[in-house]
Amino acid sequence: MSEIKLIFIRHGEAANAWGTHKDPGLSSIGCKQAESILENDELQRLNKFDFISSPKARAIETAKPLANKFQKKISIDETFNEIPSKDIADNMKQDWLKRIITMDKKTLPREIKKWDKEIYERVISFQKNSIIFCHFMVINSILSNITKSDTILYFHPDYVSITKIFLKNSSVVSFQTFGNKKTYVNL
């Protein structure tokens, strides 16, 4: 089987901070960031790629300019949704996330373990080159599984940063990260 290339793009800046709005779209800066990926040298040959997005507005809005350029339909995949936090009060989400990202994966809440496992299983199941628009924690979940990290946090992907994963025979053979930005976690 030939190599499968997956490109993960973190969404652009959201109009609202994580925990203050259920599903914010992009801010004006985020819209400019989404437009900026049209010129990225890494994203110029996507004619044979499937376009996939998290169901969240900010991920879909980030995908639209590039999907329009290549005349592609964006498929929504719930697997790549942000980290589940429905039982966490909005005003507690930032502190909760800071704890979750540094916890040993063995001690994570069951719902987070399930989310983490399903993402990785979906990634290694791809059979076609695909570009996936998703979230900070989704990308970290994937890379922490690839590297067998003890925690979910692997790095700090900047807005509209690119992470490439290469598969062969349903196994990850390599990955590349671009746009590591260590900042306060503001998803």
The CATH number linked to 130 is: 3.40.50.1240
Q: Is residue 187 part of a domain?
A: no
pLDDT, residue 170, reads: 94
Low-confidence stretches of the chain (pLDDT < 50) are 183-187
pLDDT, residue 78, reads: 98
Q: Tell me which residue range forms the domain holding 158.
A: 4-177
Count the Cβ atoms, other than its own, within 10 Å of residue 14: 26
Count the Cβ atoms, other than its own, within 10 Å of residue 24: 19
Count the Cβ atoms, other than its own, within 10 Å of residue 35: 15
Q: Is residue 149 part of a domain?
A: yes
Q: Is residue 136 part of a domain?
A: yes
Tell me the C-alpha distance between 45 and 52, whole Å: 16
Per-residue pLDDT tens for 84-118?
Answer: 998 899 889 889 999 999 999 999 999 999 999 99
pLDDT, residue 181, reads: 62
pLDDT, residue 24, reads: 92
Q: Is 55 helix (H, G, I), strand (E, B) or coil?
A: coil
The amino acid sitting at 24 is P
The alpha carbons of the chain give a radius of gyration, in whole angstroms, of 16
pLDDT, residue 105, reads: 96
Q: Is residue 186 part of a domain?
A: no
- For the entire predicted model, the pTM comes to 0.93
Return the closest-CA partner of residue 59 out of 47, 48, 75, 45. Answer: 75
Structural domain count of the chain: 1
